[in-house]
Amino acid sequence: MHKASILLRQILVLNDAVEFHTRRCLNTNDTDLQAMQLLMYQGSMTPTELTGRLHLSAAATTTVIDRLVRREHAERVLHPDDRRRTLIRPVPSAAAEVMELILPMISESDAVIQSMSPAEQDAVVRYLEGVGDSMRSFIGDLQTRLAAEGPAAKK
């Protein structure tokens, strides 16, 4: 394997450690942090969208949303286009707390790429885009495989 592929695998493992320690600092669990990350990335989501992205049942997602709302990490708001529906969005102060925690790491990582020449930056971007494409393709292949095997294979 190429050294870049080995380093990428190490980064994925390190990401698990980063998330573990972030959860501890924020006094939250894995699922709630995943939900917060999705909400921060998307801005807001319907409960159904959150259910799909978290790969949980509707009931389990409701429990996650209830915890986030109770801890003032997220809030329920009326959907702007359909007032019968709700959106879940991160509370700005909670998003700021998460960003304050991880921003030093993000800034340090960005400084590394900013220190590279434009050609080096382009090469890194091409590599990461290719890795992302490969991962999305792999997920699609696994989803197709699971669908072909039927419900018993998903347990």
d(CA 77, CA 79): 6
Q: What is the pLDDT of residue 22?
A: 92
The whole model's pTM is what?
0.79
Q: What does the domain layout of the chain look like in residue ranges?
A: 3-110, 116-155
Confidence of residue 111 (pLDDT cuts 50, 70, 90): very high
Q: What is the 3-state secondary structure (H, E, C) of 69-119?
A: HHCCCEEEEECCCCCCCEEEEECHHHHHHHHHHHHHHHHHHHHHHHCCCHH
| Average pLDDT score, the chain | 93
CB 89 within 8 A of CB 79: no
Backbone angles phi, psi at 153, to 5 degrees: -75, -20
Q: What is the pLDDT of residue 154?
A: 54
Confidence of residue 152 (pLDDT cuts 50, 70, 90): low
Each residue's pLDDT tens digit, 25-40: 988 999 999 999 999 9
Q: What is the mean pLDDT of residues 73-97?
A: 91
Backbone angles phi, psi at 150, to 5 degrees: 90, 175
75: left (phi over 0), alpha (psi -120 to 50) or beta: beta
Residue 151 has pLDDT above 80, yes or no: no
Closest listed residue to residue 87, CA positions, set 68, 105, 103:
68
Multiple choice CATH, 3-110, 1.10.260.40, 3.90.1750.10, 3.60.130.10, 1.10.10.10: 1.10.10.10
CB 105 within 8 A of CB 96: no
